[in-house]
Amino acid sequence: MNYNQPLELTGLVSNLHEFFRDNLSPFWATLVEGALVLLALLTLYAVIALALIYIERKITAFFQSRLGPNRLGKYGVIQSIADMIKILIKEIIHIKEVDKFLFYAAPFFVIVSSMLTFGAIPFGQGLQAVDFNIGIVYVLATSSIGIIGVLLAGWSSNNKYSMLGAMRSGAQFISYELSAGFALMTVVVLSGTMQLSEIVESQRYAWNIFNGHILALIAFIIYLISGHAETNRGPFDLPEAEGELTAGYHTEYSGLQFGFFYLAEYLNMFIIASIATTVFLGGWMPIQIKGWDAFNQIMWYIPSYVWFFGKAGFLVFLSLWVRWTFPRMRIDLLLNLEWKYLLPINLINIIVMVVMVLMGWTLSDWFPALFGN
């Protein structure tokens, strides 16, 4: 079943593709399409980052009984744009004792890693820049590049606080990357594919968080915890602990260079929520019930990208709720949580999931007529 409703963007994408193929040579058509896709991704990247900065300020203010941004624009909606302009025109302070090449290269590792992962996210029906048959591996590989930029930033700054922040971040990221990877592999076992588009399609009538019973729920919770730790968000924000390390690994950065780290942090939060939405919550797939054709048709009238951003937005709110509720953990407790609890639970969980899938104990196996199998 494939419903292309008037509000969907699939038709526009197809029409543009046919127009370029009919009027340009294959080489130039591919080049122009690639440039347009890159421009669209960069624009969406910036818009989502600005929106998240504003949303976090407002939610934080609500939790703390404050108003938050309220001067620029109605309800302060232009505050994030003003801050962006300020960062763009702010002077970049040049530090004498840094390793200049590594120091200036570090922010690009962080932003490129974030952008490469961002391009693999299926935002809606047919709205995906790249769709590899090993999409999960691609996402894990590209998202891991960012830690190189963090380590380079700490090492090249010639600052003890930056170095401590970078080492903390490296230990934290590498540790929790294992749990995040195993949690995603648990879903791969359940879905039988690593391709993100096929994972979404397999959840048409049963989202993986329900289809995999309690095992999928455990993997979902572990992935959210691990993803939250990977993005250095509170209570796992030890690499940037202001009271201990001034600002962590980006202490010596200013202007647009600092802006890259700041931008990537917010987008990584959205990327974690997007991947969780895609593999656990059905991605852009609306709520569908086998045999309820009228209900299903109504659900499809809501654009697929609205479903996706709605689910991802809920997970982002959950992330912000956790950040502004729990106090910062000590570094030893942080690593104990991963190595003594999450990782062993994850290993047992994926083994049991393999047994469950082989024995045919998933929800879709039990009720094939209800879930369209």
Q: What percent of the chain has pLDDT over 90?
A: 33
Q: Compute the mean pLDDT over every residue in the chain, rounded to the nearest whole number.
A: 86
Model confidence band, residue 307 (pLDDT cutoffs 50, 70, 90): very high
Give yes or no for a contact between 182 and 331, defined as CB atoms under 8 angstroms apart. Answer: no
Asked whether the predicted pLDDT for residue 144 surpasses 50, the reply is yes
Higher-pLDDT residue of 167, 137 = 137
- Condensed to tens digits (0 to 9), the pLDDT of residues 122-141 reads 998 888 888 888 999 999 99
Give the dihedral sign, CA 147/153/158/159: negative
Rounded Cα gap, residues 337 and 340, in angstroms: 6
Taking CA atoms, 113 is separated from 106, 149, 243, 261, 264, in Å, by 11, 9, 28, 11, 9
pLDDT at 370: 58
| pLDDT one-digit tens code per residue, 197-218 | 999 998 888 889 988 889 999 9
Q: How does residue 121 score in pLDDT terms, banded at 50, 70 and 90?
A: very high
Using a CB cutoff of 8 Å and minimum separation of 24, what contacts does 26-31 make?
A: none
Place of tokens 């370029």: 20
Q: Mean pLDDT across the stretch 144-162?
A: 88
The mean per-residue pLDDT over the stretch 301-323 comes to 92
Question: Would you say residue 225 has pLDDT above 80?
Answer: yes
| 372 pLDDT above the threshold of 60 | no
pLDDT of 326: 86
160 or 342: which leads in pLDDT: 342
Q: What's residue 1's pLDDT?
A: 45
- Those residues whose C-beta lies under 8 Å from the C-beta of residue 327, and which sit 6 or more positions away, are 235
Domain ranges of the chain: 93-366
**What's the rounded Cα separation, in Å, for the pair 146 and 117?**
10
The answer to whether the CB of 90 falls within 8 A of the CB of 262 is no
Contact by Cβ (8 Å): 35, 27: no
Give the pLDDT of residue 4.
46
Tokens of 373: 């199998």
Write phi, then psi, for 127 (nearest 5 degrees): -105, 75
pLDDT in tens, 247-299: 678 788 888 888 888 888 889 999 999 999 999 999 999 988 877 888 888 88
